[in-house]
Structure 1
Amino acid sequence: MIQDATMAETTSAHVAAQDAVAEFSGATKRFGEVLAADRINLRIRRGEFLSFLGPSGCGKTTALRMLAGFETPTEGSVLIDGHDVSAVPAHKRPVNMVFQHYALFPHMTVAQNVGYGLRQRRPRLSRSDIAQKVDKALATVRLEAFGERRIWELSGGQQQRVALARAIINEPQILLLDEPMAALDAKLRGEMQRELLELQRSLNITFVLVTHDQEEALSMSDRICIMGKGRIAQVGSPQELYDRPSNRYVADFVGKANIVAGQIAGRQGGMAQVVLGNGTKVIVHDLPADNRQHAEIAIRPEALSIAPQEAPLPEGTVALASRVTHRTFLGDRTEYLLVADGIGPLQVNAPRQAARALGEHDVGAQVHILWPVGTGLVLAADT
């Protein structure tokens, strides 16, 4: 299902340099008969925000733990600043990690938690130097007045900031984040995502996030590495992955996508004419460099629209006769599930403004799904 992927060469305005701070080179990890990571090849750019995204068991946490030094590759290597650190223990790497449950010491104050790593350094730092660094770290995460509090006196969001302060106080080259917002409620999670992104921008430290939350990855990352069955499916910017998924696995996992089968009738200039199951012909973007005739097309729900069957068709639009089976109002949009004759179920997301202009459609209504020319993408075959 998953295919090898080369790193997408995208640019980011706030990433000052394109040199690699870390690299996976054929990194493979086995736990007995279980292949947790399979020949991972990936260069992580200095100063970028990279996310590993995928479902449980896809290999993303194993990749993070190999980078942190908590796991040693069975084959291949992990490099930091061009040096092979595969056998270097975690405490000797220029890397710090924020865990999902923060791993804070409940018997210590906030300041003592933040300064814990500094107190382990040899040669020892003076108390005044540690205090100064702790104050600076707490100020960075806006907890200046909380140094003497105990951990149980803090909210979940404040505890996360303490964990971040403890991680950044050692000035790591790479900060690793293992689903650090999974325990927060939806509203607080959104606030912390914005704060974390601002913190990364201000520190210019490479952040590597592991998450199964696609919205979190899309909103925060410079690049996303989609994982599946221990392998990299695709790497790219959030927009690239959303607009140009390489195969069905990526299209299904990043956002929502209608997957429609058809036969390719012709190709020209990066576009393909595809005949759908009911004989309707559509023009879509053509991605694969192969000669397959059978194709799967991905089309996002917001790219389609709905109109009454008697309404005139906009120029360059194909109409699919359909019936509304479900209608879900979500405030800013309405989600429709429809059955298109000879094709099957399709989802259409109608923005609130468009729904007001065109009218709402009740369950059971006979309508047209409007498919604009050039909308949709032929997917490469999963391997």
Structure 2
Amino acid sequence: MAEVVLNGVSKAFGDETALDNVNMTVPDGSFVVLLGPTGAGKTTTLRMVSGLDKPDAGHVSIGGRDMAGLTPAQRDVAMVFQQYSLYPHLTVRQNLEFPLKSPILRTRQSVIDQKVGEVAEILQISHKLGNKATALSGGEMQRVSIGRALVRNPSVYLMDEPLSSLDAKLRSDLRIELKNIQANSGATLLYVTHDQIEAMTIATHVGVLDNGRLVQFGTPREIYENPVSVYAASRLGQPRINVVPADLFGGAPQAAETIGLRPEHIVQGEGEDSMVKRVEHLGDQTRLHLAFKNHDLITVTDAHTELSEGDIVKIRPEKPYYFDASGARVA
């Protein structure tokens, strides 16, 4: 069992509040992604769980056991940093073997060889096992860094934007592999990323952080379809949600200040006139940039649309979200 619980966790660095009374339960065997801009508290949350930093208030438990006073080594977690954190004088094989040769694990050499071989194949670095870490490209070094965590079988994996330095093709491949590894091993994984696609495709749960506060926690679909605020709504979805004055289409609730519309929730062919400002053909779909009553809107349409700049399109809202002046959702 590796359920991770943060109970009232707060952390400040000088006058800066990094985490503000965070309460979050990471279910056993889940793949949880933390989303938010730089400074939201994502990495600090990982450091609280790993034991690299201590909370000023509150506590962290893993598997029902309070982690207070326990070192990172005693917590049975494996962390992948945004930086590569490799031993430059060792070969790739030696870097991958290093965690397994810990006196705590006492892994047999035959098992070490098997695990290193399996992980190297998954990460497409089998042909680099004899190379020194200093002879690798940045993307290769990051793959080795990920491999150092994967060769172990910890209770919890902690990953801080591990795919950010990789090219698009490899990032897509490893995203699938990480999800498969996590699902097959049953391990709990807490993962930080700025990539909305990663969050939507690999997460079982998403935690949205804003200035050290956890503003929403749920499945990607729950947060996408039922955001609690403008901020939460803007964390998921590409293109981003359209946010315009609540009375732009009429019929808004009294407390509403703004209306939020996902691009797919702008119905075309009926309603009021808008003008096409730009057409973006993306292969499987087309994005329309519209001008509507002096406001810009983005919607999606058929991949083979014949619409062009200057055309007039009738639109109306469907499934709108309303938000008050503070950005909170209005029922």
TM-score normalized by structure 1?
Answer: 0.77
* Residues 294 and 382 (structure 1), Cα distance of their counterparts in 2 relative to 1, 3 Å cut: closer
Question: Is the Cα contact below 8 Å between 2:2 and 2:188 reproduced in 1?
Answer: no
Distance 1:160 1:135 in 2: 21
Please give the secondary structure, in 2, of the residue aligned with 1:338.
Answer: strand
* Residues 366 and 50 (structure 1), Cα distance of their counterparts in 2 relative to 1, 3 Å cut: same
Instruction: Give how far 1:141 is off.
Output: 4.6
Which residue is 1:339 aligned to? 291
1:257 pairs with 225, 241, 249, which one? 241
* Residues 48 and 92 (structure 1), Cα distance of their counterparts in 2 relative to 1, 3 Å cut: same
* Residues 252 and 39 (structure 1), Cα distance of their counterparts in 2 relative to 1, 3 Å cut: same
Tell me, which stretches of 5 or more residues in structure 1 are unaligned?
1-18, 263-275, 283-290, 308-312, 314-318
Question: Is the Cα contact below 8 Å between 2:7 and 2:58 reproduced in 1?
Answer: yes
Report the residue type matching 2:218 in the other structure: G
Which residue is 1:376 aligned to? 320
Alignment pair present for 1:247 and 2:199: no
Which residue is 1:365 aligned to? 311
Question: Is the Cα contact below 8 Å between 1:305 and 1:350 reproduced in 2?
Answer: no
| Percentage of matched positions with identical amino acids | 32
- 1:318-365: CA deviation from partner (whole Å, max 9, x where unpaired): x12212223223232222222223x72211111305x2xxx3132x22
Distance 1:157 1:138 in 2: 19
Distance 1:179 1:334 in 2: 30
Alignment pair present for 1:306 and 2:279: no
Alignment pair present for 1:51 and 2:33: yes
Distance 2:68 2:164 in 1: 29
Distance 1:50 1:246 in 2: 19
Question: Greater CA radius of gyration, 1 or 2?
Answer: 1
Which residue is 1:316 aligned to? none
Paired residues in the alignment total: 322
Instruction: Give how far 1:49 is off.
Output: 0.4
- 1:253-279: CA deviation from partner (whole Å, max 9, x where unpaired): 2111112333xxxxxxxxxxxxx336x
2:17 pairs with 25, 35, 42, which one? 35
Distance 1:33 1:132 in 2: 48
Alignment pair present for 1:348 and 2:319: no
Instruction: Give how far 1:146 is off.
Output: 4.8
Instruction: Give how far 1:168 is off.
Output: 3.2
RMSD between aligned alpha carbons?
2.4
* Residues 189 and 102 (structure 1), Cα distance of their counterparts in 2 relative to 1, 3 Å cut: same
Please give the secondary structure, in 2, of the residue aligned with 1:382.
Answer: coil
Instruction: Give how far 1:292 is off.
Output: 5.2
The 5 A counterparts of 1:1-383 are 21-122=3-104, 125=106, 129-142=108-121, 146-154=128-136, 158-255=140-237, 256-262=240-246, 276-277=247-248, 280-281=250-251, 293-307=255-269, 313=270, 319-341=271-293, 344-353=295-304, 355=305, 359-362=306-309, 364-372=310-318, 375-379=319-323, 381-382=326-327
Tell me, which stretches of 5 or more residues in structure 2 are unaligned?
none
